[in-house]
Amino acid sequence: MSELANPPLYKAAERQASEAKEPAWADALPWADCPLPGRCPVEGLLSQQELNLAYWLGAVHWQGRGRIVELGCFLGAGTVALAMGLQASGRAVPRGTLVTHDLFTAWPGSEARCHHPFRAGDSFRELFDLNTRRWSDLLTVRDRPLPDAWHAGDASDFHAVNAADDQEIESIFVDAAKSPGLSRNILRLFAPRLRPGHGLLVQQDGKWTNWWLTLHMHALREQLRPWRSVPDGGTLVYRCVAPVGPALESLARMGPDSGYGLDRWNAALAAAEADWPGQVLTYFRLQRALHHAEHGEPTTGAALALEEIDRICTGQRHTEFGHGQAAREIAGMVARTLPDRCEMAARLLRRGEDAARTCRWRMDQARSALWRMVGDGLARAGRRRIALLGGGRHTRDLLSLGWAESHGLKVVAVLDDRPEDWRPEPAWPVCIPLATGANCRVDAVVASSDAAEATLVQRAKDSGLPGDRIIGVYATSGQSPC
């Protein structure tokens, strides 16, 4: 044990533990007052908020009574944040207090997540050791694989290795629950050692693709209660309020590919409505949509998945997470893994594209307000027959969102240099060459590009379009619409 001369940050934890009332979701996050000092010296995949949480777990939450366990460390960014927190706690830190588990083997695509030329199967243990060498006396590093098999007996060898390590765990930092089997075995092997009333379980894998986590944590909801979520990621924090061991039987009754029916999902989401803020609920709903798409009966599953995506895309908070992209990914996964559901995948893909367009506009409130002003100005001036200048993404967004119709306007044509590239949806206007735009009988030509408006307006003028008919929106090159 080594005495550390840092300020006693653990006193903040004692004050927090003495508070009878849990803070509301809207209150400041506990780690906001104790962020990681400066930048993390190790490259990694964690957001700054997640690194701040890791630092706080060591500096404030850790009371010196047990271990901190990290499952999935990659190159060591989270490990270093946890270790720096322990050093800053002001307590004497026993050797090996931070126990970290990883297979230390690169996976396909891992080279794209960092600046190291890994190939699938390469070991990165040496790089991890190099990154964490300053804190090596605080670490216990285990490079045995976590058991991925579902049945309890398949994890016996792993459990035997850890049998001597019966010390209490104060917090578990999980970034390894990549399958139903891994998730279940991590909970079975480590969660029973969390101390009720103090222990925290951090689930970094709370992304929309890992649907099993929602159901597993719901099965343990009386022991591990939702506590906090990290704003800029899918990381969820649960607080241990009762011994976990006796409740693990509920996980054992859930098979790896069965037992995840709609009734269980509805129960999990109903509980989540009361437990989590809206942004996390959206992740859960995406998970349910994916589960319906992959495992439900083809016709019913398609309908349920589409219903879930629609509910998300019309919700108040959907713009924060790019759910159009999520819907497209769900569609792609369904098409790849279940060829007989290609029609369903196509419907999801179309819904995802529509959602993506809606997200782009709702995320930019200033742009939406600007185009409302444009529509109102044209309507007041009686200029109701219009052409849109430019046939790119921006114009497709306007037409998809029904901008013109919402103001009593009618788009009769699209003008573009490359009309052959125009791919209209049903009821969309034709695209005519910009060179012949002067012959188009419209009240106004509205520039429709947030990236190249000035260039488009100049080309329109060069083609012979009268300047007083061209409406500029973003740049100053066209006539004002209002």
Q: What is the 3-state secondary structure (H, E, C) of the chain?
A: CECCCCCCCHHHHHHHHHCCCCCCCCCCCHHHHCCCCCCCCCCCCCCHHHHHHHHHHHHHHCCCCCEEEEECCCCCHHHHHHHHHHHHCCCCECCCCEEEECCCECCCCHHHHCCCCCCCCCECHHHHHHHCHHHHHHEEEECCCCCCCCCHHHHHHHHHHCCCCCCCEEEEEECCCCCHHHHHHHHHHHHHHECCCCCEEEECCCCCCCHHHHHHHHHCCCCEEEEEECCCCCCEEEEECCCCHHHHHHHHCCCCCCCCCHHHHHHHHHHHHHHCCHHHHHHHHHHHHHHHHHHCCHHHHHHHHHHHHHHHHCCCCHHHCCHHHHHHHHHHHHHHHCHHHHHHHHHHHHHHHHHHHHHHHHHCHHHHHHHHHHHHHHHHCCCCEEEEECCCHHHHHHHHCCCCHHHCCEEEEEEECCHHHCCCCCCCCEEEEHHHHHHCCCCEEEECCCCCHHHHHHHHHHCCCCHHHEECCCCCCCECCC
Q: Is residue 430 part of a domain?
A: yes
Instruction: Say yes or no: 358 and 369 in one domain.
Output: no
pLDDT of residue 196 exceeding 90: yes
Q: Is residue 228 part of a domain?
A: no
Q: Is residue 415 part of a domain?
A: yes
* Residues 6 or more apart whose Cβ sits within 8 Å of residue 240: 191, 194, 195, 196, 197, 198, 199, 200, 201, 223, 224
Taking residues 41-57, report their average pLDDT. 90
Choose between 18 and 205: higher pLDDT. Answer: 205
Instruction: Say yes or no: 376 and 462 in one domain.
Output: yes
Q: Is residue 258 part of a domain?
A: no
Instruction: Say yes or no: 372 and 449 in one domain.
Output: yes
Count Cβ atoms below 10 Å from residue 15 Cβ, excluding itself.
10
What Rg value do the Cα atoms of the chain yield, rounded? 28
Q: Six-digit token pair at 323?
A: 């759910």
Choose between 325 and 376: higher pLDDT. Answer: 376
Q: Which of 363, 378, 405 is the last residue of a domain?
A: 363
For 126-140, 171-185, 255-269, 305-319, which range has the lowest pLDDT when averaged over its residues? 305-319
Instruction: Say yes or no: 455 and 465 in one domain.
Output: yes
349-394 residue pLDDT tens:
555 555 545 545 544 555 666 788 788 889 988 999 999 999 888 8
Q: Which of 335, 363, 391 is the last residue of a domain?
A: 363
Instruction: Say yes or no: 402 and 336 in one domain.
Output: no
Residue 264: what pLDDT?
77
How confident is the prediction for the chain on average, in pLDDT? 76
Q: Is residue 44 part of a domain?
A: no
Taking residues 218-245, report their average pLDDT. 87
pLDDT of residue 161 exceeding 70: no
Say which CATH number the domain at 401 has. 3.40.50.720
Residue 26: what pLDDT?
38
Instruction: Say yes or no: 339 and 407 in one domain.
Output: no
Q: Is residue 292 part of a domain?
A: yes
Instruction: Say yes or no: 459 and 375 in one domain.
Output: yes
Residue 133: what pLDDT?
96
CA distance 215 to 267: 9
When divided into structural domains, the chain yields a total of 2
Taking CA atoms, 177 is separated from 105, 204, 371, 432, in Å, by 16, 9, 45, 54
Instruction: Say yes or no: 394 and 464 in one domain.
Output: yes
| Confidence tier at 25 by pLDDT (50, 70, 90) | very low
Q: Which of 363, 392, 414 is the last residue of a domain?
A: 363
pLDDT of residue 45 exceeding 90: no
| Confidence tier at 1 by pLDDT (50, 70, 90) | very low
Instruction: Say yes or no: 377 and 357 in one domain.
Output: no
For the chain, percent of residues with pLDDT exceeding 90 = 28
Residue 99: what pLDDT?
95
pTM, two decimal places? 0.63
For 94-98, 172-176, 271-275, which range has the lowest pLDDT when averaged over its residues? 271-275
Structural domain span for residue 340: 277-363
Q: Report the phi/psi class of residue 74: left, alpha or beta, with left for phi > 0 and alpha for psi in -120 to 50.
A: left
Q: What angle do CA 416, 421, 423 make, to 5 degrees?
A: 105
CA distance 371 to 378: 11
Q: Is residue 423 part of a domain?
A: yes
Residue 3: what pLDDT?
33
Q: Is residue 320 part of a domain?
A: yes
Residue (of 427, 424, 460, 462) closest to 445 by Cα position? 460
| Confidence tier at 274 by pLDDT (50, 70, 90) | confident
Instruction: Say yes or no: 374 and 467 in one domain.
Output: yes
For 115-129, 228-242, 285-299, which range has the lowest pLDDT when averaged over its residues? 285-299
Instruction: Say yes or no: 374 and 450 in one domain.
Output: yes
Instruction: Say yes or no: 462 and 380 in one domain.
Output: yes
Q: Which single residue is written with the structure tokens 């297979």?
A: 103
